[in-house]
Structure 1
Amino acid sequence: MTDFDQDDIAAMRRENGGADLKRFMRDQLRVGKQRRDMPTAAAPPPRPPGHRPGAWPSGTSPPEARPQAHPPAAWGAALNEHRAALMADDHTQLTSDQPCGCVTCQLTKEN
């Protein structure tokens, strides 16, 4: 009996000297306290459509390792080409025991 209006309350007051109204009000208080004291479990969030626990989404795969842009041999070849280009310049001091101060002469002196 959750839907009541003024006529229902007036009728409860008239019957049994108001005992029905008191019982009704106590029942309403008891129900309200029970609802307040009950722990409410949080509803889990809705799962996305087509969700399979522990699986990758359809049409995807785990990420793969990125391939190296240039293998180590290519780096070595590029360095050798660069050194050859530097050596192609005209260095008059390369033939003597005294290298000049350029980067190429310094590299050949260190190696």
Structure 2
Amino acid sequence: MTDFDQDDIAAMRQENGGADLKRFMRDQLRAGLQRRDTPTVAAPPPRPPGHRPGTWPSGTSPPEPRPSAHTPAQWGAALNEYRAALMADDHTQLNSDQPCGCVTCQLAKEN
């Protein structure tokens, strides 16, 4: 019984002291749970002939690595500039006894 209206509900309440309505509602809940517990699983699409899972398709290969945007001369110049900055800077952040010039470190140095 899937089609019911208000008159059916009223009649079930009157019969057997409402036991029919309780049984009917439990049956409705049980049917709903069974529909929810068994979902329909769609079949996966068919595989093309010769398909090997986890491999590149036949006749193809992975993409080539992207070429570097910088020439070796540019890399060398950047490395030399970095080395020169390392040698020229004071690097006070590496020495815990010598604070930097920020306000917080200056206040800590005074106290």
- TM-score, scaled relative to structure 1: 0.38
Higher relative contact order (CA 8 A, sep 6+): 1
Please say which structure displays the higher CA radius of gyration. 1
TM-score (norm 2): 0.38
